[in-house]
Amino acid sequence: MVKTQATPEQTRSAPSGPAGGSAPRQRLLLIDGHSMAFRAFYALPVDKFTTSTGQSTNAVYGFTSMLVKLLREEEPTHIAVAWDRSEPTFRHKVYDDYKAGRAEIPPQFPSQVSLLQELLGLLGIASISVAGFEADDIIATLATQAGTRDMEILIASGDRDAFQLINHRCTVLYPGKTPSDLARMTPEVVQDKYGVPPQLYRDLAALVGEPSDNLPGVPGVGPKTAAKWIAKYGSLDELVTHADDVTGKAGQSFRDHLDGVLRNQRLNVLATDVEVGAGLDDLKGHSWDRAGVNSLFDTLEFASTLRDRLFAVLGEEDAAGAELGEGFTVELSALGTGEVAGWLAAHATGAARAGLACNGSWGGGTGELTGLAIAMAGGPAAHIDPTTLDAADEAALLAWLADPQRPKALHDAKGPMLAIAARGWELAGLTSDTALAAYLVAPGQRGFDLAELCLRYLNRELGDEQGDSGQLTLDLAGEGDGEQAARQDLALRARATLDLADALDAELERRGGTRLLHELELPLMRVLAGMERVGIAADRAYLDALEEEFAAAVRQAVDEAHRYLGREFNLGSPKQLQQVLFTELGLPKTKRIKTGYTTNADALAWLATQTDNQLPVILLRHRDQTKLRTTVEGLIKTIADDGRIHTTFNQIVAATGRLSSADPNLQNIPVRTDAGRRIRRAFVVGEGFDTLLTADYSQIELRIMAHLSEDPALIDAFQTGHDFHAEIAARVFKIAAEEVDAQVRAKIKAMNYGLAYGLSAFGLSQQLGVTPEEARGLMDDYFAQFGRVRDYLHEVVERARREGYTETMLGRRRYLPDLTSDNRHQRELAERMALNAPIQGSAADIIKAAMLDVDAALREGGFTSRMLLQVHDELVMEVTGEEIEDVRELVRTKMAGAYELRVPLAVSVGAGHNWHEAAH
């Protein structure tokens, strides 16, 4: 046994002064906030940077990335960001049309400015704006003050007016072609590029004009002519004095527009005496709020990459000036053969929780365990190599792992659980999965990486994902650096998991999620692991034939498209499709995007309705068949050696609490199309079983809405046992149920589900193909009959606005800070989420509770039959012939009784040789 004591990582020191000098370097960085934010906004696509609540984040993300680059490369000791304001400046008093004609600000931009200013506040960076002045004036004032103190000055701005500030101490970082490209504009660069020194650039601009500020220049006078005149006479003032001496058409044009030139000159000058409300000493790097930045980034749903880059450049102090926690330390024992049983007997016998971490690989329903680390509360840690265990060690380890009285914490436990099960071992006593717990605390988060969670909840650094933690130094004789690093990383992850579990327990208790974790999510994880191990049988020969059929349909669509156009082209190239559809065929233009006009599926469907041209129809068919072929190809690739497909169920993806499926995704196979139903025929009953059984809830969201709203008419409609949608239609339109035709029923069905999903009148109009006024009238008629539904929908939003979150019937919370946003779009989207989260989330909770009840009943009854899949409201099971009737009744009873509602939980059950035949 080799032992070593870990030591804390030393905190990073502040940047040093210039080489060869003892005095600290004084470098002031001034940023034009709107200039950099607009640049970031247009550099990144809005549709790719939007949160689940509808908040656009491209400007925030891009601005932060640029800021990180500036901080890292320039290492300023002082920093400020200057912002323009919406009210007129002193320049508007001189010229009414100043900046007139500028393009309208995109609606997704303004809310991001306030987010950026919030972020800068958290980072300890001054944000300055002054009524009546522009950002350039604030920058000029601070640069002038810095010049008197012989500071080095850097100005990051896309406004050329800043060039007049350039001198031997002041450099402008001017945008290039890409967001990361910043040209260093020095006096020499300005002279070479524009033919005048920086102090005369204002004169040049007065002659040439500035279109972005709506300042017209002298017609016929460009930068070269203007520079030549200024060079000859020495300045614009001298040029004006000798205006009559300037010859040619350009000279006459200059004289004709002299008033405008002089106006430009007055407007171009930057104010250097603005009362900015901050001195240079106020712009020194201040401590920053790590927890606040983490919280904001969580709200903006930023991944860890940007966060890590920002934190790396900022240093280690938080807002209170406290140092970042000293990391995680353990006394690590690298256990060899014959040492495991003794270590467990000495250290792992009490009731205190242990942290557990595993190395290996998992997925596809199985896994391989290559290493295991155990960290005891307040005590030592051990690393165990499962390949070196003797019989006594293995027996002791198995007993400890399977003992429900030995509490354990593990991060993202289902994968390691599969790897442990693959060795024939069992894991019990799991009292915390820190990924699941963090998800319940903040379900809108995009990622739940252990290192990131440690920073957020413990203010302690774990290290990077490659295992270089920097927290532990081991000297293990005879071992390579790679093996040593893997052991130390695993031990620290076990310790971090244990400490994080304690913090998340407290946070869950505060947020009311403790019961949900222990009674629903943790038990369900074990059930899901079992379902992943089992998988579902697939008919490989059938899938191969289906793939070839779809491939032939794709080829046929390509041939048809080529014949229709009369030449070959790439149907998968948006650029070529734009050329074909809008240039060669002259079809109506679709929505304008950065690369031209969109050719997505919605656009093609619109073109198919707007013209008689058959090419959009062919292209749509090509895309449909290509998608189906890709789906089938993906399924074929995932068939394991046992002839079954083992999907992975994920509990921490959907904010509503729904499970998701991946590798492959078996929840997105179409059920309402013929092609989708044909794909479902490929999923068959496996060897040793006789039939597949499917069971799903009927209209569960609507039943939950009836329960939550307590609307007597809606409850009564469910209890009649008639066709629910026809019954509702009859009540809304005051006709007999038998008079309800398919069209009227479809409208009410859309209404019913639309209300459950928070659909607006506009959204309903889009679904039904009617005007918003007609849709609103339909909603009014509906609410006239079901008034408590309207009251409930209003109350749930108002309650969420007061409390900050919505809650399901089982206590699952979803926090929606945008309910109080000043941005109307964000606020309305958050309101729709507040409407549907309790209903969809409760449906997700109920099916999870049903799965636990069904699984327990199958085990207690000694059944061979087993659960294979969960697809939202549906369970798929594999059943033996002699058990079919008992299992059918068991599933129906357990699903119907999973939660007691004011209306019956109706369950439909079907059986068949394949998934499609088992539909009901």
pLDDT, one tens digit per residue, over 70-98 is 999 999 999 999 998 877 777 766 677 77
Domain end residue (candidates: 496, 514, 535): 535
Residue 918 domain-assigned? no
Q: Is 655 left (phi over 0), alpha (psi -120 to 50) or beta?
A: alpha
Listing from the earlier edge strand, what are the strands of the sheet with 536-538? 644-645, 536-538, 683-684
* Tens of pLDDT, residues 211-264: 777 788 888 888 898 888 988 888 888 888 888 888 888 888 888 888 888 888
* Number of helical (H) and strand (E) elements in the chain, helices listed first: 35, 28
Domain that holds residue 173: 27-187+271-283
Q: Pull the structure tokens for residue 471.
A: 């927290």
- For residues 530 and 549, membership in a common domain is answered with no
Strands 430-433 and 683-684, how do they pair? unpaired
* Tens of pLDDT, residues 203-219: 888 888 887 777 888 88
- For residues 799 and 731, membership in a common domain is answered with yes
- How far apart are alpha carbons 797 and 804 in whole angstroms? 10
Q: What is the CATH number of the domain that holds 146?
A: 3.40.50.1010
Mean pLDDT value across residues 545-567: 96
- For residues 486 and 529, membership in a common domain is answered with yes
Q: Given this model, what pLDDT does residue 468 score? A: 38
How many Cβ atoms from other residues are within 10 Å of residue 27's Cβ?
A: 18
Residue 861 domain-assigned? no
| CA 85 to chain CA mean position, Å | 31
**Residue of higher predicted confidence among 857 and 600:** 857
Mean pLDDT value across residues 730-740: 81
Cβ(77)–Cβ(249) under 8 Å?
no
Q: Given this model, what pLDDT does residue 103 score? A: 64
Report how far apart, in Å, the C-alpha atoms of 677 and of each of 162, 203, 632, 670, 673 are: 65, 73, 12, 7, 6
* Tens of pLDDT, residues 300-322: 888 777 888 898 888 754 443 33
Residue 657 domain-assigned? no
3-state SS assignment for residue 460: strand
Q: Pull the structure tokens for residue 443.
A: 């379900």
Mean pLDDT value across residues 283-294: 83
To the nearest whole number, what is the mean pLDDT of the chain?
Answer: 87
Q: Which residues contact 281 (CB under 8 A, 6 or more apart)?
A: none
Question: What's 491-536 look like in SS3?
Answer: HHHHHHHHHHHHHHHHHHHHHCCHHHHHHHHHHHHHHHHHHHHHCE
- For residues 396 and 543, membership in a common domain is answered with no
Domain end residue (candidates: 789, 809, 843): 843
Q: Pull the structure tokens for residue 436.
A: 């699941």
- For residues 116 and 62, membership in a common domain is answered with yes
Q: Which residues share a beta bridge with 383?
A: 334, 373
Count of domains for the chain: 4
* Tens of pLDDT, residues 31-70: 999 999 999 998 888 888 888 777 889 999 999 999 999 9
Task: Name the pLDDT band for 99 (thresholds 50, 70, 90).
Answer: low
- For residues 78 and 141, membership in a common domain is answered with yes
- For residues 524 and 561, membership in a common domain is answered with no
Residue 166 domain-assigned? yes
Domain end residue (candidates: 630, 646, 673): 630
- How far apart are alpha carbons 453 and 442 in whole angstroms? 11
- For residues 421 and 488, membership in a common domain is answered with yes
Instruction: List the Cα angle 13/14/17 in 5-degree steps.
Output: 120
Q: Given this model, what pLDDT does residue 13 score? A: 32
Share of the chain above pLDDT 90, in %: 54
Dihedral (Cα; 252, 256, 260, 261), 10-degree rounding: 20
- For residues 384 and 425, membership in a common domain is answered with yes
Indicate whether 480 pLDDT > 70: no
Question: What's 634-668 look like in SS3?
Answer: HHHHCECCCCEECCEEECCCCCCCCCEEECCCCCC
- For residues 510 and 545, membership in a common domain is answered with no
Mean pLDDT value across residues 421-433: 96
Q: Given this model, what pLDDT does residue 635 score? A: 96
- How far apart are alpha carbons 317 and 315 in whole angstroms? 6
Cβ(680)–Cβ(669) under 8 Å?
yes
**Residue of higher predicted confidence among 276 and 746:** 276
Residue 463 domain-assigned? yes
- How far apart are alpha carbons 496 and 121 in whole angstroms? 30
Strands 152-156 and 170-175, how do they pair? parallel
**Residue of higher predicted confidence among 378 and 556:** 556
Question: Which of 7-21, 469-483, 763-777, 841-855 comes out lowest in average pLDDT?
Answer: 7-21
* Tens of pLDDT, residues 373-397: 999 988 899 999 999 999 999 999 9
In the block, tokens 């034009």 appear at 32
